[in-house]
Structure 1
């Protein structure tokens, strides 16, 4: 009785169909594990083999991890690990050469039984390296059959072609994962940096309030008391000096309070972002203010950034726009929060490099938005007013946590 031969891909059209199916599976998504699972399934279905394992080279250690497998071994994905050089798979990874074992795996000195993968239940196997340019070695692809199967050079060539396709796709998936991780880390760093800056501002504001301001207030009381008790006729010069000292104390106290406000806006703690924005807008003289503000709380670093952006933008409206009406809108929507500040003033050309300095301080606004992962959109033309929209991506949980912060 003749033994089944090869992968059953003697027909070039069938071989091409399998390769196209592998390409389609390789473009199914950016995840390494879903990609490996799709490839394993396509290979076993197309070649009438019984099981396929996709072992991927680890990023930091000289070892391989099972990244994809056909059932019932898909439960072992991420669990089975092999050091380079261990077993047939480890040997293939180390030598970058294929191995074909038609029968009696136990007699091959390279073979090491892996209980979780039940190698003793399968007679024949082919193991090929997955490598390509510029990815290099990415992993090892194994197929197994229960019945003895005669795999020839053509079968190995096809599997190595499949391995090259998978290697390129795995490399792209890894690059995508690293980029996503880098972006996430950048976002966390920016958030932590803003939080650290605001914590330091808050500490300095508290020190000024609790130390310098309080001492100035106390000094002012003492000076007033001394001036009250001085004899007007005999100590006119002293009274003049005391009056000057009192005026200096009051001026210094005003400056300290202004410094506290610049370091950390107390209005955010007292009123929240919506109330703080309303207070900012109503501080514009000679302009009608239209408010549409979502009063849900946001993460602290986002509230501070949006408040500072509004503060700077409205200050520039006051200085440059000559506006009769100013709209301030804050909306927490699916996936983010959006702040829009619009006026009907003189407008400007956003493409004019001088606008960033003389118009709306766009460079600073964009910098603050980028620190919290946001974007800025400016719409303006001379004579038509200006709209500045800041969008910061957030999930619903972040908004809910922000609201809970002050409940």
Structure 2
């Protein structure tokens, strides 16, 4: 009668052992393919568990991985139906058979009556009562150290040989490097996500402060300017024809009030352009270019998939770059371009103006090399994981390019 899950009888199982060359070669190829599939730890463990069970002619395989604290093991991969328990089973280092093997760095073999072994710990969800014999070997190598434990179980009693243990130990060593790299990748991904969340919070805080300042200017300064214009108009209407000097002064005061009012409105729009709330990045850039009376901007933009905080940062870079053209380039012609190319979004603002002595990649943070505006743009690009490039030569214009990778 064949044992469940294997398709082979006990005699066949005993005769083949773990050293069958064909199964070992298939296992090696399978592990290499699993490692090559990607650095995701749970995916790697899920792929190798059934490979190990098939190659070692055992019924189930559990892959326990040491957590980042180095104090406990977590089930990261298992053969069905126990794959549903992945992430749910945790074992402190030193407890249970797997914990003992990990803490001592030695394999453990239990042929039968494992429940009598003081190291054994029962997990109802893993149904240990259904399996008789087991082997637990550490997954470790010199470069990576201990990364976890491999457990294999058989329903029928099995006398595991020294060669069996060597094979499982070799498998553990082979996997140790891959698991170590997967753990490093997971940590890096976690840090990147944390950095992105922090970036979102920083930009959100900046935009909130800009909105507050815009509201303060609108509700305070502009309202007072409107009131001032009203009183100036009233004063001008009350003057007699003989008050020529006073009339001229009132007219000049009104001009100043009008100019200040226009400056306040421009500051409000600069602090928080309404288009950012209503349009996508491409349309917002188009609106920005059209709002600059001092420039004739050729616009070449397309919709690009970016998080909101990255869109805000790119809009601010374009805003600053176009203002620099107005202030310094001594030209009316500019070109604004937004494109997705080769896994990144590129924002480019160029002009044919007077330029300056700057030709290179990866704009630095030296204040003497471009002033606060350039530094501000570079910082905005860096905070969203991108970079700013500035190319310029005297008499040949300036090109500013912000590159942001698409995640």
CA distance in 2, matches of 1:262, 1:288: 19
Q: Tell me what 2:315 maps to.
A: 307
- Aligned 8 A contact 2:367 2:375 in 1: no
Q: Tell me what 2:223 maps to.
A: 214
Choose from 309, 329, 335 the match for 2:337.
329
- Aligned 8 A contact 1:316 1:359 in 2: no
C-alpha displacement at 1:28, in angstroms? 3.4
- Is 1:366–2:378 an aligned residue pair? yes
Task: Within 5 Å, give how 1:371-390 maps onto structure 2.
Answer: 371-376=383-388, 387-390=399-402
CA distance in 2, matches of 1:244, 1:287: 29
Q: Tell me what 2:18 maps to.
A: 8
Q: Tell me what 2:54 maps to.
A: 45
Q: Tell me what 2:360 maps to.
A: 351
CA distance in 1, matches of 2:132, 2:303: 68
Task: Within 5 Å, give how 1:102-121 maps onto structure 2.
Answer: 102-121=111-130
Runs of 5+ unmatched residues, structure 1? 396-407
Give the direction of change, closer, same or farther, for the CA distance of 1:71–1:147 in structure 2 (3 Å limit): same
CA distance in 2, matches of 1:357, 1:89: 60
- Aligned 8 A contact 2:318 2:349 in 1: yes
Q: Tell me what 2:6 maps to.
A: none
Secondary structure of 1:130's aligned partner: strand
Choose from 44, 49, 56 the match for 2:65.
56
Choose from 289, 299, 319 the match for 1:291.
299
Give CA deviations for 1:85-104 in whole Å, capped at 9, x if unaligned: 44322332333332111122
Structure of greater relative contact order (alpha carbons < 8 Å, 6+ residues apart): 1
CA distance in 2, matches of 1:24, 1:323: 59
Secondary structure of 2:118's aligned partner: coil
Task: Return 156-165 or 98-107, whichever deviates more.
Answer: 156-165
- Is 1:200–2:212 an aligned residue pair? no
Task: Return 83-92 or 212-221, whichever deviates more.
Answer: 83-92
- Aligned 8 A contact 1:138 1:171 in 2: yes
Give CA deviations for 1:190-232 in whole Å, capped at 9, x if unaligned: 1221121011111111111111210121122123313422455
Task: Return 21-30 or 115-124, whichever deviates more.
Answer: 21-30
- Aligned 8 A contact 2:329 2:354 in 1: yes
C-alpha displacement at 1:315, in angstroms? 3.5
Q: Give the alignment's Cα RMSD to 1 decimal.
A: 4.0
C-alpha displacement at 1:162, in angstroms? 2.0
- Aligned 8 A contact 2:285 2:315 in 1: yes
CA distance in 1, matches of 2:303, 2:26: 58
CA distance in 2, matches of 1:242, 1:285: 29
Taking structure 2 as the reference length, what is the TM-score of the superposition?
A: 0.78
Give CA deviations for 1:321-356 in whole Å, capped at 9, x if unaligned: 566753333457897654343445566752298999
Choose from 147, 161, 172 the match for 1:152.
161
- Aligned 8 A contact 2:294 2:326 in 1: no
C-alpha displacement at 1:283, in angstroms? 6.2
Task: Within 5 Å, give how 1:51-90 maps onto structure 2.
Answer: 51-60=60-69, 62-90=71-99
- Aligned 8 A contact 1:84 1:90 in 2: yes
Alignment size in residue pairs = 393
Q: Tell me what 2:3 maps to.
A: none
Give CA deviations for 1:71-129 in whole Å, capped at 9, x if unaligned: 23222222333344443223323333321111222322222332322222222111112
